[in-house]
Amino acid sequence: MGTYAVTGSASGMGAASAARLREAGHEVVGVDLRDADVTADLGTADGRRHAADEVLRLSGGVLDGVAAVAGVGPNLPDAAAVASINYFGPVALLDALRPALERDGGGRAVVIGSNSATTVPMIDDRLVGLLLAGDEEAARAHAAGAQRSLPAALATSPSISAYATSKFALARWARLTAVTPEWARRGITLNTIAPGAVVTPLMTGSTMSEDDLDPDAFPTPMPRGIFGRPADIAFWVAQFLSPEAGFTTGALLTVDGGTDAAMRPDAQ
């Protein structure tokens, strides 16, 4: 049985992923802001360092896999925080944990992107560049400035551009990184899952109940006529983390009930 780290383990997809791994008999080190083996704020450099140190201590420095699930949604008012949590959180943690993934002959890593990266027409190219360059300070300043110029009509999703852009850049980082010798030739795989609308506290917020949700009235098409459940994502997290998945790296899997296919039928 293996040892896995899962961020965002206190809620939603991260909780479902951790539960699925534990049910299969694996050890899981959960990381979250609360209710986790390691409590840490992945939105800050100190929090990421603390998280990495604690995961390495609790795992004995050897990991079979890491699922970087923690993240926030476009409803968070602070676009700079969205950039820090959704992009720098997983990237810095995976960079710090990579050596532990190498130790047992090659581990597995998966990050959670979003189908917003391909379905929201608000990707900010300048922000993509700053994120991929690793310049957190400049990325935060740019995200905050760009947010101020967005139309008021976007009040319910004030960080939609920073959100979609953070997930776009994360998926690109995963593809760029997966094929470097430090990952690919050391047996470590790195893939992205891009979920669509999944019923979690991130999606429903504190005011909405599940009964308020109608797939046919959703702003983006929902061809399957259903919303996703955390277990729908945990299923794929477990596949990407399994030892048998060694020939799959740099891949992006959209799990969204058909939204992306409906909106971009010609994209490959």
- Residues serving a catalytic function are 163
Least CB distance from residue 128 to ligand NAI, whole Å?
17
**Phi, psi at residue 241, to the nearest 5°?**
-85, -5
- Residue closer to ligand NAI by CB (options 63, 171) is 171
Nearer to ligand NAI, 149 or 156 (CB): 156
Q: At what angle do helices 160-178 and 125-132 cross, to 10 degrees?
A: 40
In the complex, the smallest distance separating the C-beta of residue 176 from ligand NAI, rounded to whole angstroms, is 19
Q: By CB under 6 A, name the binding residues for ligand NAI.
A: 8, 10-14, 32-33, 41-43, 69-73, 85-86, 112, 114, 195, 197-198, 200-203
Q: Which CB sits closer to ligand NAI, 75 or 242?
A: 75
Closer by beta carbon to ligand NAI, 83 or else 198: 198
Closest approach of Cβ 8 to ligand NAI, in Å? Answer: 3
CB 107, min distance to ligand NAI, A: 20
Q: Quick one: residue 88, left, alpha or beta (phi over 0 = left, psi -120 to 50 = alpha)?
A: alpha
